[in-house]
Chain A
Amino acid sequence: MAAPILRRGFPGGRWALVWIHGGCRHRNGAPTGPTLGSTRGRSSVAQQSLQTAQKPRKGEHKWETVVGLEVHAQISSNSKLFSGSKVCFAAPPNSLVSFFDASLPGTLPVLNRRCVEAAVMTGLALNCRINKKSLFDRKHYFYADLPAGYQITQQRLPIAAQGSLKYSICTGQRRSQMVTKTVRIKQIQLEQDSGKSLHDDLRCQTLVDLNRAGVGLLEVVLEPDLCCGEEAATVVRELQLILQALGASQANMADYEIQRQISELENGGEILNETRSFDHKLGCTVPMRDKEGEQDYRFMPEPNLPPLVLYDTSCLPAGADPQQVINIDRIRDSLPELPSVTRDRLVGEYGMLPEHSFVLLNEVGLLEFFQNVMKETRAEPKKVTNWVLNTFLGYLKQQNLAVSESPVTPSALAELLNLLDRKVISSSAAKQVFGELCKAEGKTATQIVSEQRLELMQDREELERLCHATMDEHPQVVMDMKGGNPRAINKLIGLVRRASLSRADPTVIKEILERKLSP
């Protein structure tokens, strides 16, 4: 399909410093895949794009939304895809630029083994066919932060193709049913990231930072199997989890990015009737095709890189230098647990509801938190799950905190749950203790319980005396009870609890009261 262009004229450039570039701003971000279009989000580390297209169903006048995705994920590696420059976020501008990254004449690309391994891992995790021979291509366009005038990518023969990704979405009126669906993966390709252009509108100039230029990207191209923005967002999240589990990419999108994607996709899915893409800077969708600037990327084989050849155990050349060959089977054997397996394990091991397993994985760090609590508590898994997903996560959401920023450690929560489990405290007291823990004053749950005298009354005789005294003080309520009002006993229980300063276990109170009142 035609190449998309986002263009905004900006006359009156100025040329001041080596890395400064003035003049008109435009962005030619584009997919290499033949069926999908994209723009590249410049502000997030993992970038996504979408295309919505609509096709009429046969015999119907109804329109169906089709969403395809291309996800660019930055590969976690120490050095860049084709050069030895370090990869490091937020380094001083242009401090991580090799001669190759700056495209000095005569420099040549040298492929980074780590990036190839990350791509193979991702391909395997996404059930792709790994191509034992893949090729690199040059994709040409002029842009200030693309110093060579072309990007090295894998257009013709990518490293992995024809995979699939399972994802689950909630359906039904109450959105309580989980339905598992599959999206096809068209291909996974290795490619270079570009540099960054920082536009200074005041001075009419553009600053170029090449730190990111040449960083390895995994471009995952999905077939247009998705039907709405929610599905797209779910798939992106699942992919993100997989990449993180593999260590292939940090894929560290912020939550707002997901939210933005969801609303954007939903908007796109409902409203658009043309191929449009989202422009981060303009904050709205814009038409992807620009007849004037329809671009031909003039793809050409990259002549400086021999075909990338991978092996499996059956075809590993004898005596091959392990540093020089990549064995697909070895990578497969060392794949970590993938999110879907983790979720199944949680459901099986802890009797958790499937949707709860999704929440545990979707929140960064929450699963680890849960597992650490589980290690230190004897409380029932279901109880722990409830506490972690409701009380703990609820508090974080309310305070807009990440799990890593939580004032409550897994050990502290485990201690609290242990107190609850041993019936040292009531669940309402536990909530109160949790609130205290969140203040992060350095006190343990046990300390808080004893300081605030929150222990349940363990002395039954004392409790019986308390019940007796309360009944004496409230003869009318006792009368009501005896008269057959079922709610009266609850009132009495409440009165006893108040008298006990909430330290009495309501079930025990009820038991005592019922015994005392029985004829």
Chain B
Amino acid sequence: MTSRGLDQQSQGQVRSFGVPVSARPTVSLPVSAPCRWGGCAAPANRVPGSLPRSEIRPIETLGVEALADGPRWLRPCNAGADVDLSAHQSPGPGVDRLNTSIMLGRTLREVSAALKHGQITPTELCQKCLSLIKKTKFLNAYITVSEEVALKQAEESEKRYKQGQSLGDLDGIPVAVKDNFSTSGIETTCASNMLKGYIPPYNATVVQKLLDQGALLMGKTNLDEFAMGSGSTDGVFGAVKNPWSYSKQHREKRPLKPCGDGDGDEDSSWLIAGGSSGGSAAAVAALTCFAALGSDTGGSTRNPAAHCGLVGFKPSYGLVSRHGLIPLVNSMDVPGILTRCVDDTAIVLGILAGHDPKDSTTVQDPVKPFVLPNLTDVSKLCIGIPKEYLVPELSGEVRSLWSQAADLFESQGAKVIEVSLPHTLYSIVCYHVLCTSEVASNMARFDGLQYGHRSAISVSTEAMYAATRREGFNDVVRGRILSGNFFLLKENYENYFIKAQKVRRLIVNDFLNVFNSGVDVLLTPTTLSEAVPYAEFIKEDNRTRSAQDDIFTQAVNMAGLPAVSIPVALSKQGLPVGLQLIGRAFCDQQLLTIAKWFEKQVQFPIIQLQEFMDDYSSVLDNQKLTSVSLQQ
């Protein structure tokens, strides 16, 4: 053979040589029952469920008065995402224009329909969102607002709509992107001094896919530095404030402070948004955009979604490209999706999912956009309740809601069984070793030479490296780098890294065993409690907080499974509580279908911010069009 003949100019880049599912990253998941994306049939064999219910689902008053006349989520519901706006609209020049403000509280799907029917133009929508972003600047949700870019995109989108050449559901839809995704020409900081001023020359694949669909990029959202944290409090641009801190629902119910009203009160009592994708969550929750990208390594999308009353979705590892996502832990990172309802998540996922030649860990199976079916019968479903997730730290309210959710499934005919994930206990420690090790490695590139911060100290290369990294990274990042390098030392590698990998395998097997026993999805809490005030949150250090807050979410990342947090109710303090559904690997669509059914049952209320912002008043005027169901 000739050497020339082998080496074609196109240079076939070998993505993976195996069957896609087996070609997983280092901790490859033995997906024994490769139920694929979309086509996941429930196995017939079910483990007969006899579980000590009282132990894991104690009947306890919810503290939410609405329950007096039965759980609201059991009521039949015909509102929600199925609203057909076209029914009472006549498109064309004489279109019955709606107040644009109304649109902001809508779901992505609704506003997409409104755009298609000419009830609002992309530019109007964009300007409205930009205006709201300015008004909610105090939330600190955005690091960079890409106003010019968004307006230009809106203009182009508007042209397409005028020519009847809309690109699809996302055309003209304002979205936000966490500031750890590369955006071409737009500063990408990871909320770190290290990357302040860094303007990437390329778009992350997921960002590019959104833009290709005509989405409007409103800006880059705040996070914990390099996504290391669970509160969105540890970024160099300051903490993100949870929009629910300012909601009518919370203000009416929160414990009164002695000093009454006034700005001082605001400052001391605001709640964290959760993290690390807190900026993205706050941006969607404050109605400044209709969907946002987060990233999820240990719960960073689901946690803030739960705290901000949103749907937070973590796809199966390998379903969505990580190319351009500035990594935290490569083997666990996935781009996450934050929206106001499950259908919106499905729309975004349909666009983002699929093989990316630039990410060798994405599966090769083709994925097409899809519409989630309306599940009417859950009687064939088996819901697993992992007993290890009932931890002493779990708040009574969350525990009660978890229990009621299980009852809900059961009352509708689903089989609900207690299951065991015996290695859950070791998950956090294992995660700590694997996470810090990869962090130590991933952060090695930040040396001040090519991009990002460079220290003025130039005595020697080593001195420059050291000073650059000391100045560029916060304590949390430096701490993890230090730990990670310790675990990777030759003398420690076996005792820490290898062991952690073995434990990871056990955790993966835990999930496999449960799913192989016939469970379709697992139902768990997303967080220990509702969002806590910032002042309280910072009493613990980042590491402790992360370990506590990732408890229900992080094992999923170890196993690469899809999981979604669904907002289910407001707590006594009028704050959102989310519950998590965990699905089988690559059964994301099945998971979302069940989540959609669940969402419909629980009728989570829309945030009421009208006291704070004039623009919101009209949201309520139009309640019949939105899936609003307020708890009194």
Contacts and interface: CB of A to CB of B under 8 A. Distances in A.
Contact of B331 (A84, A303, A309): A303
A298 B7 contact: no
A24 B323 CA distance: 34
B450 A102 contact: yes
Contacts of A233: none
Nearest to B489: A296
B28 A21 contact: no
Q: Give chain B's interface secondary structure class.
A: loop
A103 to B, nearest CB: 5
B445 to A, nearest CB: 5
B322 A108 contact: yes
Interface in A20-78: 21-26, 76-78
A56 B449 CA distance: 48
A110 B356 CA distance: 11
Interface string B607-622: 0000000000000000
A4 B198 CA distance: 35
Contact of B11 (A11, A84, A246): A84
A304 B330 contact: yes
Contacts of A305: 25, 360
Interface stretch (A281-289, A322-330, A401-409): A322-330
Interface in A235-264: 246-248
B397 interface: no
B233 interface: no
Contacts of B437: 300
Interface in B335-378: 357-361, 364
A496 B324 CA distance: 89
B102 interface: no
Interface string A97-121: 0010011111111111110110000
Interface in B152-182: 181-182
A331 B201 CA distance: 39
A106 B331 contact: no
Given A77-B7, A106-B182, A310-B17, A298 B324 contact: no
Most chain B CB within 10 A, of A12, A108, A296, A311, is at A108
B200 A106 contact: yes
Given A104-B202, A114-B6, A300-B488, A13 B460 contact: yes
Contacts of B326: 105-106
Contact of B358 (A22, A110, A296, A323): A110
B460 A24 contact: yes
Given A114-B6, A305-B360, A106 B324 contact: yes
A299 B493 contact: yes
A162 B17 CA distance: 23
B485 interface: yes
A336 interface: yes
A326 B17 contact: yes
A336 B4 CA distance: 13
A468 interface: no
Most chain B CB within 10 A, of A24, A79, A300, A326, is at A300
B201 A104 contact: yes
Contacts of B488: 140, 298-300
A25 B461 CA distance: 8
Contacts of A150: 441, 444
Nearest to A250: B3
Contact of B485 (A111, A246, A298, A326): A298
B204 A147 contact: no
B327 interface: yes
A301 B438 CA distance: 9
Interface in A325-363: 325-326, 334-336
Given A109-B360, A324-B364, 17 more contacts: A25-B461, A77-B7, A84-B11, A104-B200, A104-B451, A105-B195, A106-B200, A106-B325, A111-B13, A112-B13, A113-B13, A117-B6, A147-B450, A298-B489, A300-B437, A303-B331, A325-B17
9 contacts: A22-B461, A77-B11, A78-B11, A105-B182, A105-B326, A144-B461, A246-B3, A304-B25, A307-B28
Interface of B: 1-4, 6-9, 11-19, 22-26, 28, 181-182, 188, 190, 195, 198, 200-202, 204, 322-327, 329-331, 357-361, 364, 437-438, 440-441, 443-447, 449-451, 454, 458-465, 485, 488-490, 493, 497
